[in-house]
Chain A
Amino acid sequence: MNENLRRQIAELTAVHKGLTNIVEGDAETILSGKVPFEASADGLETISDSFELELIIPHDFPEKLPQVKETGGRIGADYDHRNSDGTLCLAVPVEQRRVFFEQPTLLGFVNRLVVPYLYGYYYWKTYGRHPFEEAPHGYKGILGHYIDTLGLRGDLDALAVICFLFEHGYRGHHQCPCGSGLRVRACHGPALRAFHEHHTPETLLSDFIAIFEICFQKYQKGELAFPQSLRLQIMRILNRLKG
């Protein structure tokens, strides 16, 4: 564990004092204990609750974000937003990173991602519906995140965006991948820059695979046709990945 992580853990446990168990492994540190909180959200009730949590913090944090498990046996398989390995599915990866970068510390991670998630669970358990929006599962959730966040017309635009990010990163003077005909900086500039900044090579690749997979299936069914330029771009990317 490096000094930065040690400090981050100290900052986290100064606020969430119940996280008292620390087990340090080679590649990750596991922090566990009770996390009581009082949480409020605009227009919704304030709740007080406490969950038993386990935070699996990779030593290359914040390059990789922690995984979280609820160990008190409250959040069961009947809850939609739990992965099969028992980790809590806080958000699609790039959105996790978007929210995380609002306060890029372990404490920010818990307060901005974990606690809102637990609030959502509490609300769902109590009222049978979710207080905030939900993302569709799997690749659809990832695709949907791009479409919603950027206000895109459809799947093909999302594919163009992820290809653009994958191939160029951020280029303000290029044509915007959304198809508006404008330059990036005059169109989706800030949003694309944010995506670019929040992505790691790993999340970029997995998002590319997710969106390409959906579009490719639609292409195979004849529901979608790739324009020539996009097709060439995809070929370049796939070749690069093979290499």
Chain B
Amino acid sequence: MTVDITKYSKFLEHVANEIDIPPGKYQDAVDRYKAVGRWLEEGEYPECPGDVSIYPQGSFRLGTVVRPIRNGIEASYDIDLVCEMPLRKPETTPKVLKAMVGDRLSENQTYRKMLDSEGKRCWTLEYAEQDGVGFHVDVLPAILDGGGLLSAALAITNKDGSAYSWSASDPRGYGAWFDGKNRAATARVILEQRQEIERRAPAIFASVDKVPDQLVRTPLQRAIQLMKRHRDLGFNHHARIEFAPISIIITTLAAHLYANETDVYSALSGIVGKLRAHASLVEGKPIDRSLAGMGLVQRRSDGTWYIGNPVNPDENFADRWHEDDHARARAFFGWVDVLQKDLVNILAETNPRLLNEHLGRALGASAISKHFNILIPPTPVVETPPRIHIARPAKPWRRV
């Protein structure tokens, strides 16, 4: 017996949903970031006329949220918010901008207690757990710098010791690019999934129309979530953690390689297969011509690597891949091989116990446990007869 593809795809869909943010928690998170946003918007910022703009970026924006695993335990969700101040570069400095946002957060009694020490680019608010689920909200101070896909590229601050500098980022442009890759699939699944979400969480969303598109997931988003979870578990060890493939690389390459497959398994196996076809780059060997033509992962003549930001080709996500004898590149392609083995070739596994073990190791035992019966319906338990130990038995007799 091997695993049925349709069932397996359904199983993957359910597991991805399991590691996703539940609709109720999504709503909590939105309420919280909106409250942070209102607080920041209502602030008095000297010499800063105009409106502050707060919006999510990263996996929360892209619909690829995965409940993080830290030290093998499910940890708090990370929510990244951009806090875009109505200033231009000449009107401020990175240090002033960063402090402007940090000071405003500190003015609030509640936020002051939740505020973590200053990060490299962000201010982090740590929300206490509710029902065992916590949030980190990273607030990224930024100003509009123009340019990019939507002329929405940002300048963000960078703290290095006590020195501050500008760097570039374009979360809105990236979000729009990702949406484009995901658009056809989204249109296909949107109504069905909205109804499903409303069925699961009717109290949270009064009607189908209120279910945010942000909670709809295409096979691309599901595949990314599964890959991220697999990465989180595979690079759990502290010695490997710094070489773990970063989410932006996984998300970017997956979105490029997604071919509008209609189910999670096909999307995942398609993406993983095409990623593996790039592996010979590590040995400096050529790859399949059609893939090479896409130029997603490039090896330059000086041996360095290039994975471009689709909305800002100047930004190279793989700028550190050549370091430590290409440790990150090797780790990436090694991981892709394991992905193939763990989540694609697993279909050939015939032993239900091993299947359960392997999938549990690959995606987290708690995430798969509820859904494993999709793959292997529980066999009726063979009744074991009661075990009885005889002590001080009666002597059999007979009436005459």
User: Are A and B physically bound partners?
Assistant: yes
Verify if A188 is at the interface (C-beta below 8 Å from B).
no
Nearest CB of B to A98, in Å = 8
Nearest CB of B to A226, in Å = 24
B383, A17: Cβ atoms closer than 8 Å: yes
Verify if A71 is at the interface (C-beta below 8 Å from B).
no
**Of listed B386, B387, B400, residue having the most chain A CB within 10 A:** B386
Nearest CB of A to B394, in Å = 3
Q: Mark interface residues in B362-384 (1 if CB within 8 Å of A CB, else 0).
A: 00000000000000000000011
Of residues 23 to 48 in B, which have CB atoms within 8 Å of A's CB atoms?
A: none
Interface of A is mostly: mixed
B397, A137: Cβ atoms closer than 8 Å: yes
B394, A137: Cβ atoms closer than 8 Å: no
Pick the 7 closest A-B CB pairs, nearest first. Answer: A91-B394, A138-B400, A81-B396, A116-B393, A36-B385, A135-B397, A135-B395
Interface of B is mostly: loop
Verify if A83 is at the interface (C-beta below 8 Å from B).
yes
Residues of chain A within 8 A (CB-CB) of B394 are 90-91, 95-96, 98-99, 113, 116-117
Nearest CB of B to A120, in Å = 6
Residues of chain A within 8 A (CB-CB) of B395 are 91-92, 95, 132-135, 141, 145
B390, A41: Cβ atoms closer than 8 Å: yes
* B-to-A contact residues, CB < 8 Å: 383-400
Q: Mark interface residues in A74-97 (1 if CB within 8 Å of B CB, else 0).
A: 000000111110001111100110
Residues of chain A within 8 A (CB-CB) of B387 are 37-40
Roughly how many angstroms separate A38 CA and B399 CA in the complex, as a whole number?
Answer: 29
Roughly how many angstroms separate A96 CA and B398 CA in the complex, as a whole number?
Answer: 12
Nearest CB of B to A51, in Å = 11
* A-to-B contact residues, CB < 8 Å: 15-17, 36-42, 48, 50, 80-84, 88-92, 95-96, 98-99, 102, 111-113, 115-117, 119-120, 130, 132-139, 141, 145
Nearest CB of A to B24, in Å = 38
Nearest CB of B to A137, in Å = 4
Nearest CB of A to B279, in Å = 55
Residues of chain B within 8 A (CB-CB) of A130 are 396
A37, B386: Cβ atoms closer than 8 Å: yes
Nearest A residue (CB) for B395: A135
A sample of 22 cross-chain residue pairs with beta-carbon separation below 8 angstroms, ordered by A number, consists of A17-B383, A37-B385, A37-B387, A39-B387, A39-B389, A39-B390, A40-B389, A41-B389, A41-B390, A41-B393, A88-B396, A89-B397, A91-B396, A95-B395, A98-B394, A99-B393, A119-B393, A130-B396, A132-B390, A133-B395, A134-B397, A138-B400
Residues of chain B within 8 A (CB-CB) of A115 are 388, 390
**Of listed A39, A80, A95, A116, residue having the most chain B CB within 10 A:** A116
Roughly how many angstroms separate A42 CA and B385 CA in the complex, as a whole number?
Answer: 19
Roughly how many angstroms separate A48 CA and B392 CA in the complex, as a whole number?
Answer: 20
Residues of chain B within 8 A (CB-CB) of A37 are 385-388
B396, A117: Cβ atoms closer than 8 Å: yes
Residues of chain A within 8 A (CB-CB) of B386 are 15-16, 37-38, 111
Nearest A residue (CB) for B393: A116
Roughly how many angstroms separate A135 CA and B398 CA in the complex, as a whole number?
Answer: 8
B396, A90: Cβ atoms closer than 8 Å: yes
Roughly how many angstroms separate A105 CA and B226 CA in the complex, as a whole number?
Answer: 54
Residues of chain A within 8 A (CB-CB) of B396 are 80-81, 88-91, 117, 120, 130, 132, 134-135
Residues of chain B within 8 A (CB-CB) of A119 are 390, 393
B399, A83: Cβ atoms closer than 8 Å: yes
B390, A40: Cβ atoms closer than 8 Å: yes
Nearest CB of A to B355, in Å = 30
Nearest A residue (CB) for B394: A91
Roughly how many angstroms separate A93 CA and B160 CA in the complex, as a whole number?
Answer: 92
A141, B385: Cβ atoms closer than 8 Å: no
B390, A80: Cβ atoms closer than 8 Å: no
User: Are A138 and B399 CB-contacts (below 8 A) given A42-B391, A90-B394, A120-B393?
Assistant: yes
Nearest CB of A to B384, in Å = 8
Nearest CB of A to B314, in Å = 72
Nearest CB of A to B195, in Å = 42
Residues of chain A within 8 A (CB-CB) of B398 are 80-83, 89, 137-138, 141
Residues of chain A within 8 A (CB-CB) of B391 are 41-42
Nearest CB of A to B397, in Å = 4
Roughly how many angstroms separate A136 CA and B385 CA in the complex, as a whole number?
Answer: 32
Nearest CB of A to B329, in Å = 59
Residues of chain B within 8 A (CB-CB) of A111 are 386, 388
**Of listed B385, B390, B397, residue having the most chain A CB within 10 A:** B397
Nearest CB of B to A45, in Å = 12
B399, A89: Cβ atoms closer than 8 Å: yes
A139, B392: Cβ atoms closer than 8 Å: no
Residues of chain A within 8 A (CB-CB) of B384 are 38
Residues of chain A within 8 A (CB-CB) of B397 are 81, 89-92, 95, 134-137, 141
Residues of chain A within 8 A (CB-CB) of B399 are 83-84, 89, 137-138
Nearest CB of A to B250, in Å = 51
Nearest CB of B to A141, in Å = 4
Residues of chain B within 8 A (CB-CB) of A120 are 393, 396
Nearest B residue (CB) for A83: B399
A132, B388: Cβ atoms closer than 8 Å: no
Roughly how many angstroms separate A120 CA and B394 CA in the complex, as a whole number?
Answer: 10
Nearest CB of A to B81, in Å = 56
Roughly how many angstroms separate A38 CA and B386 CA in the complex, as a whole number?
Answer: 6
Residues of chain A within 8 A (CB-CB) of B390 are 39-41, 115-116, 119, 132
A38, B388: Cβ atoms closer than 8 Å: yes
Residues of chain B within 8 A (CB-CB) of A136 are 397
Nearest A residue (CB) for B389: A40
Roughly how many angstroms separate A82 CA and B400 CA in the complex, as a whole number?
Answer: 10
Roughly how many angstroms separate A82 CA and B393 CA in the complex, as a whole number?
Answer: 17
